[in-house]
Structure 1
Amino acid sequence: MKEHKFFVQFRELRNQTLAIADSIPVHMMDVVPPGFNNSIRWNLGHILVAWDYGIFPKVNENPQMPALYYRLFSKGTRPDAWTEEPPEYDEIIGFLSSQVDEILAVSNGRMDDLIAQPFLRVKYLRGMYSFHIREEQHHLDCIQRIKAAVETSSVVN
């Protein structure tokens, strides 16, 4: 059975995200360089929460990510406001690795289905994939820009 084109895009993009994350030294994960609101850890966590909330409830499934992730990585949150310890880098990477198969499993055969609750102007599951692929690409770009800013500044020695 051929995977839906969005499944292929999602899997390839997530592999890129994991490759970039793997190239970043752990000591850079929580640096917020001047001109940025968030860290690399925040962006990776936000990618998880965005996909989790953007897919599972839309197909009448419970979100899969721990509540801590929603408290720390939802839209509008920032590391400088955290009152809880963020998850370890390895845990975030583990979730990033496993999330793809979990999402594809609940989406298989449903891409043309109406979602449980419309999101912006999106009405079908395929539209949620389109939105979240663009969202992950945006956050991957942010991660790369943060990494470059940290590498060229004296923020981390």
Structure 2
Amino acid sequence: MLKRHKVLFNQLKSYREELLSLVSDVSEKEADITPKGFNNSIRWNLGHVYLDQYMWIKVLTKDNLYPDHYNGWFGFGTSPNDFSAETPSFSHLKQLLSEQTQKIIDLYGNRLEEKFPPTEMGMFTIEQALIRTIFHEGMHIQAINDLKKFIRY
């Protein structure tokens, strides 16, 4: 494995640990609050991060990595108003997120530089897609930070 791939996987793990640490003291009730002025809840943000990371890999590889109905709950433009009784709970999403990085490493650790037809953003390797998802996850870490502050103060 190339050194830069090890760095990438360390970053994936580090950001995911930061995200999970950030929500470790959030209750199920708090996770479902969408404060006035916000579009989404903490639970929605977790589901969106989970979906987004697999979605970009799926766009490239066509591998079926998550149930299609996750798009209806956590896809771009959705909100907690789209949730149903089948939507994964906050605790289940934390579990899925805690397992996701290792699953990606196991499935794609040796395929990071494999070339695929490019996405609309011009990404054509899994490595490129994962770099994009790290940035995206950081944005949602900040969104969750903001939600926690607003909910608790």
Scaled by the length of structure 2, the TM-score of the pair is 0.88
Amino acid at match of 1:15: E
| Corresponding position of 1:139 | 140
Moved over 4 A (4+): none
Deviation at 1:124, TM superposition (A): 2.0
Structure with the higher fraction of residues in strand conformation: 1
Please show how residues 1-157 of structure 1 align to structure 2 within 5 Å: 4-63=6-65, 65-80=66-81, 82=82, 84-85=84-85, 86-152=87-153
The offset of 1:55, in angstroms, is 1.5
Alpha-carbon spacing, 1:62–1:117, altered in 2? closer, same or farther (3 Å): farther
CA distance in 2, matches of 1:83, 1:98: 23
Deviations 1:111-148 (A, max 9, x none): 22213442412122221011000001101110110110
Contact 1:46 1:74 in 2 (8 A): yes
Q: CA deviation at 1:67?
A: 3.1
One-letter amino acid of the structure 1 residue matched with residue 39 of structure 2: N
Q: In 1, Cα distance between the equivalents of 2:127 and 2:98? A: 21
In 2, the alpha carbon distance for the partners of 1:83 and 1:8 equals 33
- What letter is aligned with 1:24? V
Stretches of structure 2 lacking an aligned partner (at least 5 in a row): none
Quote how far apart the aligned CAs of 1:77 are.
0.3
Render the CA deviation track for 1:33-66: whole Å, top value 9, x for unaligned.
Answer: 1221000000000001001111244234222x23
Q: Give unmatched runs, 5+ long, in structure 1.
A: 153-157
Aligned Cα root-mean-square deviation (Å): 1.7
Matched position secondary structure for 1:114: coil
Q: Which amino acid aligns with 1:84?
A: S
What SS does structure 2 have at the residue aligned with 1:41? helix
Code of the residue aligned with 2:135 in structure 1: it is: R
